[in-house]
Chain A
């Protein structure tokens, strides 16, 4: 009896979840470990959906670029944090939504609180830059930067801002005394 009630409650939740996905125009949502396989699967899925919708080539390419950089950011950084909170280690949330005028790619993963300042400064300084400044920074970082142990080149955020032409929107929400959830959303216009 109780079990039946639980199942019903769960199914009702699923329906609410579905409605809320629809309301937010979410076309893809994933929680878990972001691996290279996942990155390939999601990008090719989104690619074929965009092709089916006859999305212009420029939009398709930009969405692809942003998705890859966002997914690789999580796969490279999601387990950086030192907290023993097993629930968040190496995992993250990844979301794609499609509105009438734009696509959004949103990621979320846990970070150590002592990284918040560094991330904020980096994102703010990228957001303040104009096209030429971003181009110069990209070139400089490509020349002088070194590949991290995990194979990151420190170019992802700069590239996203350059490809989308829009600010990187982000937010930190506290998880515990030493950990926060870092959310980042990038928007690609469909008519640009």
Chain B
């Protein structure tokens, strides 16, 4: 399956979706001019991945900032991962946040409340 690798910029996150290497990550900043078109390929990739996912799926979120429009799309991603989990596959979300960033920590807690999928909060120091 195709690999997605997007370099991060000042307003779009770095994205790695690599099934073979079992690497899935969205990190950095997210305030794209057009959120829908930025996240569309990622959601499409996940739809395809969901057809035959790896034995274990670990998805890393390591964002330092995202705007409200992105928050909606991040939920869409999490809901796709929830579907994979519901289909009986092993899924783990790792939500990395800067240890002094309460808002980012809380955002992770909120997502964990909304979606029914194993969720791990991982603080890190900058």
Q: Which residues of A contact B (CB under 8 A)?
A: 36, 39-40, 44, 57-58, 61-62, 64-65, 68-69, 72, 135, 138-139, 142-143, 145, 147, 151-153, 155-156, 158-159, 163
In whole angstroms, what is the CA distance A68 to B65 when docked? 11
Q: How large is the interface on B (under 10, 10 to 19, 20 to 34, 35 or more residues)?
A: 20 to 34
Chain B residues whose CB sits within 8 angstroms of the CB of A64 once the complex forms: 65
> Once A and B bind, how many residue pairs between them come within 8 Å at the CB atom?
62
A-contact 0/1 string along B90-122, CB 8 Å cutoff: 000000001011110000001001100000000
A-contact 0/1 string along B53-96, CB 8 Å cutoff: 00000000000010111011101000000000000000000000
With a 10 A CB-CB cut-off, give which of B11, B36, B68 has the most chain A CB atoms. B68
29 contacts between A and B (CB under 8 A): A40-B10, A44-B10, A57-B101, A58-B100, A58-B101, A58-B102, A61-B101, A61-B103, A62-B103, A64-B65, A69-B67, A72-B67, A135-B110, A139-B110, A142-B72, A142-B114, A143-B114, A145-B72, A147-B72, A151-B33, A151-B36, A151-B69, A152-B69, A153-B72, A155-B68, A155-B71, A156-B68, A159-B68, A163-B103
Is B34's CB within 8 Å of the partner chain A? yes
Closest chain A CB from B112 CB (angstroms): 11
Instruction: Specify the chain B residue showing the minimal Cβ separation from A145.
Output: B72
Chain A residues whose CB sits within 8 angstroms of the CB of B98 once the complex forms: 57
Closest chain B CB from A72 CB (angstroms): 7
Q: Which residues of B contact A (CB under 8 A)?
A: 10-11, 31, 33-36, 65, 67-69, 71-73, 75, 98, 100-103, 110, 113-114
